[in-house]
Amino acid sequence: MMPLFSFSALGLRRGKRWGAGWVEGASGDGGWRAARGFFARVTFPGWGGVMAFSDGVARLLWPEALAAAGGLGVGSVGGEPGGERRLSALGDAVGGGEDAGYHLPVLEEEVVAALAPASGQRFLDGTLGGGGHAARLLEAGAEVVGLDRDPEALEWAGRRLQAWGDRLVAVRASFSSYPEILAGLGLEAGLDGMLFDIGVSSHQLNEARRGFSFLRDGPLDMRMDPDAPGSAAELVNTWPEEELARIFYEYGDEKASRRVAKVLVQRRAERLFETTGDLAAVVATVVPKRGPASPATRVFQGLRMAVNDELGELRAALAGAHRWLKPGGRLAVITFHSLEDRLVKQFFRHHSAAELDRPEWPAARPNPECYYRLVTRKGVVASAAETARNPRSRSATLRVVERLG
């Protein structure tokens, strides 16, 4: 098998520093061991990502950026921009997904298998994020309308995917507004697939200034769309105690929700909350530490879901999807939270049941809202290999339905 890179073309030597990173074991003709070190460690100036990798498939991000860095030409990278090779030896040594650039997509192969993208097909990716899933659709020759309400995601994914030209239309928007966007693009004729990979990206969690993380002190923000009203600080400092308790309990599963809300309201009367570190520290005075997770985990999750109206967005996205799918078109949803997964599961069940029955009815009746066939009877979860590589995938569940004719 040919090496993915010609390392000599990059002028890299064993142990040579390149930008902020290291190259280890690079030899003249590459080889998978050398490649492994290279992919995992090298960072180019002005170029945050290195490789996206999953299930042994490595994909180079922005070959043209490499060329601009005075190194490798586009043609040397698996033959074409976005080219890929199977790297069977690429495995655990690559390390955690959180470090691999902007975001490492979860259940990537499963999504591709479910959506089966092909040349000329059209897809909506409602959660563009780092563009990992979208890249796979584009690589298969499909056209993609990609939405994200976070301008940083659009910038990243736009640069990453620019090689695909106008096959990608990236729009900054909440995915609940996809009907207007698709109508504006004249896509009433229908889509071959829709993907919603709900939740936050690793980038959002890792950037302290975005205020999602209790591990990194930053402004108490948590808005995916930084221009949207209602930051986490506004909620914590102004919402009634009962409302705070409700979101901590319903969205965060926090058993001590009432006590937490009470203490927060007492504390804000003396001094308002401004930072994630401050909030996490006060929550820790109320919530006992259970296991390795921070005591603030659940409260932060509840807040984040409320700040971004995540359940409302998901409901809206599901509600009209059948109108935009061609017969045989597929709708794939990845969730990270049991409440969201339940919502998707029940929605898919109801809309794929040919008949409905109730105890008070003499007989079952045809379901006028049966639009789909279930593709996944059970939620699809990440393999052990994926969870080892990317711990974030542990809580992901994929469900897929297909539009009936």
Ligand X SMILES: C[S@@+](CC[C@H](N)C(=O)[O-])C[C@H]1O[C@@H](n2cnc3c(N)ncnc32)[C@H](O)[C@@H]1O
Site residues for ligand X per CB under 6 A: 103, 105, 127, 129-133, 147-150, 153, 174-175, 197, 199-201, 224, 313
In this complex, which beta carbon is closest to ligand X, that of residue 132 or of residue 252? 132
Contacts made by residues 255-262, CB under 8 angstroms, sequence distance 24+: 256/286, 256/287, 256/288, 257/302, 259/286, 260/286, 260/287, 260/299
Residue 383 vs residues 225, 295, 320: alpha-carbon distances, Å? 32, 28, 31
Cβ at position 199, least distance to ligand X in Å: 5
Which residue's structure tokens are 């056209």? 143
Separation between Cα atoms, residue 53 and residue 224, nearest integer Å: 25
Between β-strands 168-172 and 191-197, what pairing exists: parallel, antiparallel or unpaired? unpaired
Separation between Cα atoms, residue 148 and residue 103, nearest integer Å: 14
In this complex, which beta carbon is closest to ligand X, that of residue 68 or of residue 319? 319
Between CA 99 and CA 207, with CA 228 as vertex, the angle to 5 degrees is 20
- The SS3 of residue 298 is helix
Q: How much is the CA Rg of the chain, to the nearest whole Å?
A: 23
Cβ at position 73, least distance to ligand X in Å: 27
In this complex, which beta carbon is closest to ligand X, that of residue 72 or of residue 314? 314
Torsion region of 234: left, alpha or beta (phi above 0 gives left; psi -120 to 50 gives alpha):
alpha
In this complex, which beta carbon is closest to ligand X, that of residue 147 or of residue 380? 147
Cβ at position 261, least distance to ligand X in Å: 25
Structure tokens belonging to residue 59: 């994909």
Cβ at position 333, least distance to ligand X in Å: 11
Residue type, 272: L
Q: What is the DSSP string of 14-64?
A: TT-EEBTEE--S--TT--HHHHHHHHHH-BBTTB---EEEETTEEEES-HH
In this complex, which beta carbon is closest to ligand X, that of residue 63 or of residue 199? 199
Cβ at position 189, least distance to ligand X in Å: 23
Closest to 302 measured CA to CA, from 331, 333, 340? 340
Q: Which residue number places its CB atom closest to ligand X?
A: 129
CB 71 within 8 A of CB 170: no
In this complex, which beta carbon is closest to ligand X, that of residue 171 or of residue 404? 171
Which residue's structure tokens are 């990992």? 132
Cβ at position 69, least distance to ligand X in Å: 23
In this complex, which beta carbon is closest to ligand X, that of residue 155 or of residue 274? 155
In this complex, which beta carbon is closest to ligand X, that of residue 121 or of residue 127? 127
Cβ at position 194, least distance to ligand X in Å: 12
In this complex, which beta carbon is closest to ligand X, that of residue 18 or of residue 123? 123
Cβ at position 397, least distance to ligand X in Å: 13
Cβ atoms < 10 Å from Cβ of 238? 12
Listed in sequence order, the DSSP H helices in 225-337 are 232-238, 241-250, 257-270, 276-284, 297-307, 310-319
Q: Which residues are 380's β-sheet partners? A: 398
Cβ at position 197, least distance to ligand X in Å: 4
| DSSP, res 145 | E
Cβ at position 212, least distance to ligand X in Å: 10
Cβ at position 167, least distance to ligand X in Å: 17
In this complex, which beta carbon is closest to ligand X, that of residue 26 or of residue 50? 50
Separation between Cα atoms, residue 367 and residue 377, nearest integer Å: 19
In this complex, which beta carbon is closest to ligand X, that of residue 75 or of residue 96? 96
